[in-house]
Amino acid sequence: MSGLCRAFAVLFAIVVAASAACAAPPTVTPSPGYDARLQEQRNATSTSTVVEPAAPPQAVRKHHGKRTKSH
């Protein structure tokens, strides 16, 4: 009888392990709300206007003061 129980326990463990391996975490399952927000974000970025970067500032020339004679 113990051999039959042991075989049943091993078979049960294999079935449980196989069913747990197919389970997906909640982050993998599709979410309609998330998909809708993602679609809105994609649509907003595709219809927005392109902003040109500003021209770099012109180099400012520094004026040097008069040199003084050292004594």
pLDDT tens-digit profile, the chain (71 residues): 588 888 888 888 888 777 655 666 666 667 778 888 888 888 887 665 666 777 777 777 776 667 777 66
CA–CA separation, 6 and 10 (whole Å): 6
Lookup: tokens for 36: 């809708």
Which residue in the block uniquely carries the two structure tokens 């392109």?
50
| Whole-number Å distance between alpha carbons of 25 and 65 | 71
> What pLDDT shows up at residue 23?
62
Q: What dihedral angle (degrees, nearest 10) is formed by the CA atoms of 33, 35, 39, 41?
A: 70
- Indicate the SS3 state at residue 49: coil
Q: What is the pLDDT of residue 38?
A: 85
